[in-house]
Structure 1
Amino acid sequence: MNDLFSVAPLVVVECLALAALLGAVLASFVGCAVARSLAGQSFLTGRSRCDSCGHVLGPFELVPVFSWLRQKGRCRWCGANIPARCPVTEGLTAAAFGAFVWRYGVSLQTMEYLIFTLILLAVALVDWDTGFISDGLLLAGILDFVLLTLLRGEGAAALGRGLLAGAALAVPLLLIVLVMDRVLGRESMGGGDIKLFFTVGLFGSLRTDLLVLLLACLIGIGLAFVPQKTAHEGEPSGAIPFGPAISAAAVLSLLWGEPFVAAYLNLFV
């Protein structure tokens, strides 16, 4: 447990509720920022509008999750469908924020993971829509790891451990992918996915590297059943972006990876 549970239960509930609310609001902002950026628009100025009719959305139409449910997934003015991924990403991010506070308390480590969760959300949304993982977002994740590690006072040793874990996850995967590309005669995994695995590895450990890879594969199989409009440019028909699966696996591993691996290893002691 963490220091959060040394306070009154009501305070704990309030902290978790505030964390979840913050997660939902920030997820809504990230979704808006990604959509506007991909459309070549600024996400720093202008009111939120319906993508179909252009109607400016009011406060009650912008409440994460609940507005979508209240409007039954449609714009109140033109009836256009609002993508279900909006409430799904908002709800999942809210749950992740609450879980991180529950797991790690109110701390710099929690802040590091919350920021990384938002970066991973942006990575997942961009990759799902474009089949491309932005180096800028990966760099933001690396900076999050470096700056918050230094702020926690852990220094060069922690940075070195993260670098080792990231390399241990990405380098063998890169070698396997190069062999597979040669055998298949085509790209078997994008370079962005490998760089994302490296970035994710920074936040984990050698013990959780294999778990992240396994979870990403399992989640990727599940996402294969989620309908997509078209294959992205340069990808074979039916190709599924791997970034969302890697991102989800990273969040799950940061939350419960170490306890899971420890429990598994204890089975052999």
Structure 2
Amino acid sequence: MNILIEVYIIILGLLLGSFFNVCIFRIPRGESIAFPPSHCTSCNNKIKGYDLIPVISYILLKGKCRYCGEKISLRYPAVEIVTAVLFYLVYLNYGLTFFTIKFIVLVSLLMVIGMIDFDTTDVYFSTTITGIVCGIGFIIAGYFMNLGVIEFILGGVAAGGFIAVIILITRGMGWGDAEICFMCGLFLGLKLSIVMLFLSFIIGGIIGIALIALKIKNRKDYIPFGPFIAISSLLTLFFGQHIVNYYISMF
């Protein structure tokens, strides 16, 4: 039974990863994520269902469009595989519980928001408001399951508010970053949100310094912070409680 659930989780991740590719490509262009059906962006031919099987179709097509031979980015199967792996890790960590459903939704949102910000340096309100609504929905559901409410409301307010203060003082970040942190805080709760913020600045600082040192970016270039928030939130899902417990044990 457990094996069947694991297989289902992986397949779900692959399928949704394929859908996330559509979202990542279309949302910044202001296009519908539902219509028109999937098509080659080079020759506009409609992609048949048998060419939309996650990962497998990419391999069978040797990474090229069936009709025009245009190369298909390796990132498409990569997003599908990463999504499936993350879904599976969530299941391994939280089992068949309310939290698995909740965090699979969070992973889904972070994949789309993080990748779009990486590509465009923009955070789209249509994506963050979806996450905020979902986060509030899970808080309400958790209330009826006696899982607490205040912890998660404070998580959203604290995480989003902290970034908002930085924006007002330094102008060094965008309001989209505050929206992402507010959304993540609603899912993670106060304690884990603090871990997420800490990791975000550590990872962002390390990567930023590396990019400047390698002359890929200079000091005046804008580096999107959303991907660092996404990575840190994912790390917090899997290691956040261990970090909190270790910190508490020190005192």
- Aligned partner of 1:43 in structure 2 is 33
Q: Which runs of 4+ in 1 moved over 4 A?
A: 154-157, 221-225
1:97 aligns with 2:80: no
1:203 aligns with 2:193: no
Residue 27 (structure 1) aligned to one of 17, 38, 58:
17
The 8 Å contact of residues 196 and 243 in structure 1, kept in 2 or not, is answered as yes
Residue 54 (structure 1) aligned to one of 44, 47, 59:
44
Matching of residues 26-175 of structure 1 within 5 Å:
26-154=16-144, 158-175=148-165
Q: 1:39 to 1:166 in 2, by over 3 A?
A: closer
Shift of the alpha carbon at 1:29?
0.8
**Percent of aligned pairs with the same amino acid:** 28
1:217 aligns with 2:201: yes
Structure-2 separation of matches of 1:212 and 1:57: 39
Structure-1 separation of matches of 2:163 and 2:36: 43
The 8 Å contact of residues 114 and 227 in structure 2, kept in 1 or not, is answered as yes
Structure-1 separation of matches of 2:162 and 2:82: 31
Structure-2 separation of matches of 1:169 and 1:153: 21
Q: Work out the number of aligned pairs and report it.
A: 243
Amino acid at match of 1:247: A
TM-score of the superposed pair, with normalisation by structure 2: 0.83
Shift of the alpha carbon at 1:169?
2.4
Structure-1 separation of matches of 2:165 and 2:61: 49
Q: Deviations over 1:186-242 (max 9, x none)?
A: x311111022112211222333233212332354454876xxxxx9xxxx9642222
Amino acid at match of 2:72: I
Shift of the alpha carbon at 1:115?
1.6
SS of match in other structure, 2:37: coil
Structure-2 separation of matches of 1:143 and 1:218: 28
Amino acid at match of 1:207: K
TM-score of the superposed pair, with normalisation by structure 1: 0.78
Q: 1:146 to 1:81 in 2, by over 3 A?
A: same
Q: 1:153 to 1:167 in 2, by over 3 A?
A: closer
SS of match in other structure, 2:138: helix
SS of match in other structure, 1:196: helix
1:17 aligns with 2:1: no
Amino acid at match of 1:103: N
The 8 Å contact of residues 106 and 184 in structure 2, kept in 1 or not, is answered as no
1:259 aligns with 2:242: yes
Structure-1 separation of matches of 2:172 and 2:242: 32
- Aligned partner of 2:214 in structure 1 is none
The 8 Å contact of residues 22 and 94 in structure 1, kept in 2 or not, is answered as yes
Structure-2 separation of matches of 1:218 and 1:66: 37
Amino acid at match of 2:187: F
- Aligned partner of 1:184 in structure 2 is none
